[in-house]
Amino acid sequence: MTLPLHVRRLGLVPYEPTWHAMRDQTLARVGDAATDAPDELWLVEHAPVFTQGQAGKPEHLLQDIGVPVVPIDRGGQITYHGPGQVVIYLLIDLSRRGIKVRELVNKIEQAVIDCLAAYGITADRREGAPGVYVGEAKVAALGLRIRNGCSYHGVSLNVDMDMTPFSAINPCGYAGMAVTQLHDLGVNVSVSDAGEDLLRHLQNQLESSDG
């Protein structure tokens, strides 16, 4: 049986209301609501914002550049979201799909790796540092929260954006970590097309787990 994945294309939206909406929707997935609620992928871009995960430390914000910092409930540390970056949130019932958290992380990373391979870019994982890397540079960040056996938050892929704000943080808590984007890797793709491509690869990965 193939379990449906509902896609929401929300466009450029502010971060905090979007976070509250996916958290509230996940917390409501109990009892009959859990059975009836479809799994969803939310495709968005955000206005400039730093998000500070539960493991985050204030010292990883190196300087105040006027970008708001929002403490949130996902795993991981500090990262940046801004226009020109694809963000996909995964509101997934893991038990219904028969997958574990580590497997979901692997599937998300593999979707990004496959998406970049289609652009002619070789990317890979790093043990103990979730996300996707091209050489030494991080191109996609990943962070999740699991409640009631369901995930929210998700993955961001740098496409064609102002990378300057990354210099104001230790990305994902790593001092001096290089960060890159598709544009700087020679990939001429629009943000909207990159979003659709990554959506397709995520759907392929998640649907392959359906029993």
Any known ligand binding at 178? no
Among 200, 210, 192, CA closest to 112:
200
Any known ligand binding at 156? yes
Any known ligand binding at 120? no
Any known ligand binding at 142? yes
Q: What is the C-alpha to C-alpha distance for residues 176 and 123, in angstroms, rounded to an integer?
A: 20
Any known ligand binding at 66? no
Give me the phi and psi of 170, to 5 degrees please. -90, 100
Any known ligand binding at 112? no
Any known ligand binding at 176? no
Q: What is the C-alpha to C-alpha distance for residues 45 and 56, in angstroms, rounded to an integer?
A: 22
| Alpha helix stretches (DSSP H) within the chain | 15-27, 32-36, 94-97, 101-118, 191-207
Any known ligand binding at 102? no
Neighbours of 135 (CB within 10 A): 12
Q: Which of 37, 104, 172, 206 is catalytic?
A: 172
Q: What's the CA angle centered on 70, arms 173 and 146, to 5 degrees?
A: 75
Reply yes or no on whether 115 is catalytic.
no
Any known ligand binding at 54? no
Any known ligand binding at 6? no
Any known ligand binding at 154? yes
Neighbours of 111 (CB within 10 A): 25
Element (H, E) at 40: strand 39-46
Binding residues for substrate: 74-81, 141-143, 154-156
List, by residue number, the catalytic residues: 172
Binding residues: 74-81, 141-143, 154-156
